[in-house]
Amino acid sequence: AVKNELAKVETLNTFEDFKNNLTQLVFHSQAPLPFSFSVEPDMKDAIHYSLGFSGPGLILPDTTYYNDEHPRKKELLDFWAKNTSEILKTFDVENAEEIAKSALKFDALLVPSANTSEEWAKYAELYHPISTDSFVSKVKNLDLKSLIKDLVKTEPDKVIVYEDRFYESFDLLINEENWSLIKAWMLTKIARGATSFFNEDLRILGGAYGRFLSNVQEARSQEKHQLDLTESYFSQVIGLFYGKKYFGEAAKADVKRMVTAMIKVYQARLSKNEWLSQETAEKAIEKLDAITPFIGFPDKLPEIYSRLKTTSGSLYEDALKFDEILTARTFEKFSEDVDKTSWHMPAHMVNAYYSPDSNTIVFPAAILQAPFYSLEQSSSQNYGGIGAVIAHEISHAFDNNGAQFDKEGNLNKWWLDKDYEAFEEKQKEMIALFDGVETEVGPANGKLIVSENIADQGGITAALTAAKDEKDVDLKAFF
């Protein structure tokens, strides 16, 4: 079956063949294209979807790894090349070493046009809409007009470009001259992606580069691997099972009460705020009041799960079919309204998030457990745990990115200019506070982590205020 997937690319002898098979590759193959279209809520009109465009991503974790001074650049690329050629050989691919090297050559060409991690971190600033007509006419080497129509079955008025430099360099990168490198790059991606589905030796080989990158000695156990794979297709299904089994109505009501208390703390802080004008503070309170909390687990599963059925008797074949169904679903969504009640995290994940496009805060059941939270713990323990998490997520609504979205979830400046300038000054202070701080993995990059630092700082101070409002406050337990 893997050979069949590889053959779908191997048989594309020329760039012309590639050009004529774009739609087929997207919907019916494991081959990634060397560019990417996505369907996401439109940042300026978050009830509708927009078609996004970006580059294909890099092999190393981000652009900084490609600097010649980066201490791990060479060893990581060498390891990847060796590991990838071994994987290709297990699928009887000829010229495996050559293919791995060519893939790295294409990857190297992509580096200057890829967004840096700092650019990705300021995601509200990556929204660059271009009319579909001018978007497609700038690209001469491929017929993106037809491809877009095949993908979303309609002609959208605009495309949102998230990686400007990649778009600007499109024809310089994706062309006949580079076709053999692109082809090699696609083959390596198919082969590496298939290693999870067969025997134990291949699985261990497929994970070797990832372990080398993150300095992990041992491979995941077979049992955890099985959970990972199942989760990669059925995360919400597992989450709903977990939520119903381990999270009850009493805890839900209690957490809801804590969310309300935390929102009250923010309301009080905003009404006493001294550096914002009253006008901006009132708008902030409106946004705060409009935040919708989701607690525990969702009411229902997305319909897509009923379409995923294991029928072939082969894990890989089933995965291929699931991927086809999921890709079709991604583009099918384009013409629907955004379902703002859907969850982007399963209930069994120990994590939480704020979604700027729906102005929601989401707390999966698994983080609503000790030590973060328990009905058996004191109020101070709970405020120091889940209270700080709740307030952290609320703060994201007002961090350097979240602050640019209004209460409906649209990118829309609701601040007075002078207030936003004052906020930018405060961001600079937060960046400076953390920039260069030594950590066990090297000095911190203040710009990269500023949104999390804002959320942590806001979160812990608001949770502390709420804890102090309770009669049984115990600061030792809080911290």
Nearest alpha-carbon partner for 370 in 237, 461, 247, 262: 247
Closer to Zn ion at the Cβ: 86 or 452?
Answer: 452
Closer to Zn ion at the Cβ: 280 or 453?
Answer: 453
- DSSP-based three-state secondary structure for 466: helix
Minimal distance, residue 361 CB to Zn ion, in Å = 11
The span from the CA of 276 to the CA of 323, in Å, is 49
The catalytically annotated residue of 86, 118, 435, 456 is 456
Closer to Zn ion at the Cβ: 206 or 364?
Answer: 364
Minimal distance, residue 363 CB to Zn ion, in Å = 12
Binding to Zn ion by residue 389, rule CB under 5 A?
A: no
Query: Do 376 and 9 contact (CB within 8 A), yes or no?
Result: no
Based on the residue annotation, tell me whether 456 is a catalytic residue of this protein.
yes
Using Cβ positions, the residue closest to Zn ion within the complex turns out to be 455
Site map for Zn ion, 436-465, x if CB under 5 A?
A: ----------------x--x----------
Binding to Zn ion by residue 345, rule CB under 5 A?
A: no
Minimal distance, residue 318 CB to Zn ion, in Å = 35
The catalytically annotated residue of 107, 163, 393, 406 is 393
Based on the residue annotation, tell me whether 97 is a catalytic residue of this protein.
no
- Straight-line distance from the first to the last Cα atom of the chain, in angstroms, rounded to the nearest whole number: 54
- DSSP-based three-state secondary structure for 298: coil
Binding to Zn ion by residue 2, rule CB under 5 A?
A: no
State the amino acid at position 166 in one-letter form: F
State the amino acid at position 173 in one-letter form: L
Q: Which two tokens stand for residue 14?
A: 């020329």
Minimal distance, residue 48 CB to Zn ion, in Å = 26
CB atoms within 10 A of CB 257: 10
Q: Binders of Zn ion among 233-292, rule CB under 5 A? A: none
Nearest alpha-carbon partner for 191 in 55, 117, 96: 96
Tokens 């890099």: give the residue: 58
Q: Residue 223 phi/psi, 5° resolution? A: -65, -45
Closer to Zn ion at the Cβ: 81 or 455?
Answer: 455
Query: Do 473 and 411 contact (CB within 8 A), yes or no?
Result: no
Minimal distance, residue 405 CB to Zn ion, in Å = 15
CB-based contacts of 249, cutoff 8 Å, min separation 6: none
Minimal distance, residue 395 CB to Zn ion, in Å = 8
Q: How many residues form the binding site for Zn ion (CB under 5 A)?
A: 2
Closer to Zn ion at the Cβ: 29 or 358?
Answer: 358
Binding to Zn ion by residue 159, rule CB under 5 A?
A: no
List the catalytic residues.
Answer: 393, 456
For binding to Zn ion (CB under 5 A), which residues are involved?
452, 455
